[in-house]
Structure 1
Amino acid sequence: MTTDAPPRSPDRTLYGALALFGTVMFVGGTDMTKVTVALPALTGALGLDLAQTLWIADVYALAVGVVLVPSAVAADRLGRRRIYLLGLVVAVVSALLAGLAADGAVMIAARIGQGIGSALLIAATVAIIRVSFPGLRSRALAYGVWTAGFSAGAASGPLIGGAVVDLAGWPWVFWINVPVLSLCLAAALVVLRESSNPDPPVADVLSAVLSAAAVGLIIAGLKGVGRPDATEWFGPPAVAAGLVAAALFTVRQLRLPRPFLDVRLLNRGLLASAAVVIAVTMGVFNGTLYLLTLRYQAVDGLSPLETGIVLLPLAAAMAVGGFVGPAAQRWFVQQHVIVAGLGTAAVGLLAVATVPGTGETVGTAVLGLGSGVVMAIGANAVMSSAPQDRTADAGAVQESAFALGGGTGIAVLGVLAVRYAPSDGDPPVHEIYGAGAETALGTAAFLYAFFALAAAIVLLGTVRTRDGRRSQARNR
């Protein structure tokens, strides 16, 4: 087993590892979104109620967020290769179980398993890249392939899911992962080297429990707000309890000599701002994708494949944004690029919410372009703002922002669509994803525009700080 010292020069196994990471993250990205187009088929086949439908859509991202920080600690302590292999095994078994599910409870459990597998893979990948790829350029390339793989998968998930549902049936939305990830498991056994952190985070059970409780309670509370048909939900008390758990977790980390997660990183203005921007933008993107996907099928009567085709501009534009953002850094400071991405995404969401027909299609493309820029450059800003010995902690912050933002966005916009549906009580599906979804998207567009303006002010302020000047010098 090796420590964090990188090899002297890259070899062919590193290029194999790079291909492996890109493939696995592409599959993980599709798992985040492709199930959305299968929800109408799942609802009919498994007899799902509205709450189960929401859980199946967003519990994957929430499971990633809950388990990600403990997974990062486990990778640093037990070995990154070992945790990566475990993540692949969990992902394969969970995909098999999902395709065999006969009811909503089993499907939700399988989706949780998929999220846990993804968290193990993400945590191990961040650390493996850090210790395996020598030099800033090769490491930047590795992180770029990793981020691009996930973004491309998330953006193309609806098209892949729609094609699979139409051609083979909903179980294959999950079973398609099995042969691909099994081959990746065989490849990982060959190309990955074992390593661990010589100064790993403390294995603190209380920290792990508090981090999981904070994420779980906050999201459960958000999902319960405004659901008159769900008497078992906590609503605002659950959100309050989650915030208390988050505060206790923070206090605990500040008292530990080597924290479970170094929360002091959030004192860095650019890192904290970029993480928040990633979370909110990912939430807006995933929530919009969720509502549009279900509206096209439940209200407009499109098939899953037709839905994927209609959403193709959104997917293609997000992939383009992932390349446009890094290219723009040749001439502009990364804060300026993020602000441009925020503004683009806000304009796109406003068009989606207010301009029907062709305007909506153009709006989805503009939203995807801006979101792709924000995801790529925001992730780079988080990682580049952290010191070398806290790269794993920064990676946990970055991926938690992705996962929690995506899950929260689906939960919040899904709940708003239910609340804004014309009928009281338990409204029909066509009202939820028709009038309810339109009002929910309008509300989200209005709020995101104000968020983009506030975030722009904060981000542009960091350019004038000492850290901002260093970032500017690096980017130029």
Structure 2
Amino acid sequence: MLVGGTDMTKVTVALPTLNEALSLGTIESLWTADIYALAAGVVLVPAAVVADRYGRKRIYLLGLGVAIVSAILAGLAPTGAVLIAARVGQGIGSALLIAGTVAIIRVTFPGLQLRALAYGVWTAGFSTGSALGPLLGGGLVDFAQWQWVFWINVPILLVCLILIAAWMILPESTNPDPPRLDGLSAVLSAVAVGVPIAGLKGLAQPGIPTWLALTGIGVGAVAGVLFAVRQIHLPRPFLDVRLFADRLLAVSAVVIAVTLGVFNGTLYLLTLRYQVVDGLSAVDAGIALIPLAAAMAVGGLLGPLLQRRLTQKHVIVGGLALTAVGSLVLATMPGAGQPVGMTTLGLGSGIVMAIGANAVMSTAPAERTADAGAIQESAFALGGGTGIAVLGVLAIHFGGQTPTGPSHEATYGPGTETALGIAAFFFACFAIAATPIILSTTGRRHLRAL
């Protein structure tokens, strides 16, 4: 998860160099940044099903192999298209790793308090990776070659596989009542995740009719509805959508997705603005972003500690409030207010990620661990990928077009300021609306677990 966190952010800080080396356009840059999270989101549900049936440890080890090979190919990419394809492979490897890890944690730590701490450490690992990512990516770009932004993963993952001996240490487990392998469900879930994001990007791409982009968004929505209907009628669903009947689980998943979307979208835009508009080097941009990502790592560890004195619901609400305040400060107080805004946004996001993840997993029955894990991690992946896509499209739209397409300077200058302002306003509205819903959830299964 530490490596996965760096993959989210170190590539973003390297984008200006990648743009020049591979002649990436603005839309290709957007795909390079968020295709990793989106590919993970598309594959997570099928990966969780396969892990349940054939073994979580096996899927975890397979994910390590896929992630290593994809990192090698990304560094060898001669064009933007090949790089994007390799990033898809990295996302698939990440999904396989996550599908195994979520269930392994759930069956290894039976107590609620220990499990909360385990998920907090797990989330902090990802957050710490996010914190190190900008500085690591900037250092590799400035002092080595851009290829090492990807190749650095290879020795680290090999250490996990060989020296730490993951194949010996990790316990193997399966679900005694595994989901059925249903091809139609897999296709519907992939369409519901991937097509709307492609449609969103199409809205900002010259030459793609608006009606076609909107059609893509609509097709994805219809696929999502058909997927849910099919799951309800299957004897053993591919993904048990009936888990959403638990309001604490449902609202926690939504809060995770929206919060991480704001965090990742903000990180993406600030990284590029610091380099393209403010003229900072990749290393200096990474240093400037440390308060945002490091505070998220602290929040991931702070959340479980707060839960010892407060309920999950109140900790989640507190995290939402901090995230809303941080995003508003970033949008309204440029300059000196940015470190404060980044720290507050990161702290709140880390708390929401850790406690939201534990709430999703703790409210689900033990025999539905994989289903809950797929829901939780789909919220992570879709929130992160969609946040970059939405804020990126807003920045492109409000940055204006040149005869040859979107302007990098305008997109990451005035366009970014407008996009961050819109995101801050709508997230504040979301936090205000979500608070009474969260506090009114019964969390019956959670109370029985306590």
Mapped partners of 1:422, 1:337: distance in 2? 40
Residues 419 and 436, structure 1, Cα contact 8 Å, conserved in 2: yes
Mapped partners of 1:341, 1:57: distance in 2? 26
Q: What whole-Å deviation, never above 9, does each CA across 1:26-48 have from its counterpart, x for those lacking one?
A: 11111122100000000000011
Pairing 1:162–2:138 present: yes
Residues 125 and 297, structure 2, Cα contact 8 Å, conserved in 1: no
Q: CA deviation at 1:173?
A: 0.7
1:419 is aligned to 397
1:91 is aligned to 67
Q: Closer, same or farther in 2 for the Cα pair 1:165/1:386, shift >3 Å?
A: same
1:339-358 mapped onto 2 (5 Å cutoff):
339-358=317-336
Q: CA deviation at 1:131?
A: 3.1
Give the match's secondary structure for 1:261: coil
Pairing 1:73–2:49 present: yes
Matching residue within 352, 360, 365 for 2:338 = 360
Q: CA deviation at 1:300?
A: 0.2
Q: CA deviation at 1:327?
A: 1.4
Matching residue within 79, 88, 98 for 1:103 = 79
Pairing 1:450–2:429 present: yes
2:124 is aligned to 148
Given the two structures, how large is their TM-score scaled by the length of structure 1? 0.91
Pairing 1:440–2:416 present: no
Deviates more, 1:193-202 or 1:63-72: 193-202
Mapped partners of 1:234, 1:422: distance in 2? 21
Mapped partners of 2:280, 2:301: distance in 1? 31
Matching residue within 264, 276, 289 for 1:311 = 289
Amino acid at match of 1:443: I
2:221 is aligned to 243
1:178 is aligned to 154
Given the two structures, how large is their TM-score scaled by the length of structure 2? 0.96
Q: CA deviation at 1:377?
A: 1.0
Mapped partners of 2:86, 2:282: distance in 1? 22
Give the match's secondary structure for 2:212: coil
Q: CA deviation at 1:165?
A: 1.4
Matching residue within 368, 391, 395 for 2:369 = 391
Residues 226 and 419, structure 1, Cα contact 8 Å, conserved in 2: yes
- Consecutive unaligned residues in structure 2, runs of 5 or more: none
Mapped partners of 2:321, 2:111: distance in 1? 33
Count of residue pairs the alignment pairs up: 447
Deviates more, 1:227-236 or 1:398-407: 227-236
Pairing 1:56–2:35 present: no
Mapped partners of 2:262, 2:296: distance in 1? 13
Residues 76 and 196, structure 1, Cα contact 8 Å, conserved in 2: yes
Give the match's secondary structure for 1:64: helix
Q: CA deviation at 1:428?
A: 1.8
Pairing 1:431–2:417 present: no
Q: Closer, same or farther in 2 for the Cα pair 1:291/1:122, shift >3 Å?
A: same
1:253 is aligned to 231
Residues 19 and 29, structure 2, Cα contact 8 Å, conserved in 1: yes
Mapped partners of 2:66, 2:105: distance in 1? 21
Give the match's secondary structure for 2:372: helix
Mapped partners of 1:212, 1:220: distance in 2? 12
Residues 422 and 435, structure 1, Cα contact 8 Å, conserved in 2: no
Mapped partners of 2:194, 2:37: distance in 1? 11
2:299 is aligned to 321
Q: Closer, same or farther in 2 for the Cα pair 1:335/1:134, shift >3 Å?
A: closer
Amino acid at match of 2:253: A
Amino acid at match of 2:409: H
1:368-379 mapped onto 2 (5 Å cutoff):
368-379=346-357
Mapped partners of 1:233, 1:216: distance in 2? 18
Amino acid at match of 1:273: V
2:252 is aligned to 274
Q: Closer, same or farther in 2 for the Cα pair 1:109/1:65, shift >3 Å?
A: same
Residues 277 and 412, structure 2, Cα contact 8 Å, conserved in 1: yes
Residues 334 and 472, structure 1, Cα contact 8 Å, conserved in 2: no
Give percent identity, aligned residues only: 67
How large is the Cα RMSD of the aligned pairs? 1.7
Q: CA deviation at 1:460?
A: 1.4
Give the match's secondary structure for 2:40: helix
Residues 283 and 410, structure 1, Cα contact 8 Å, conserved in 2: yes
- Consecutive unaligned residues in structure 1, runs of 5 or more: 1-24
Mapped partners of 2:300, 2:207: distance in 1? 40
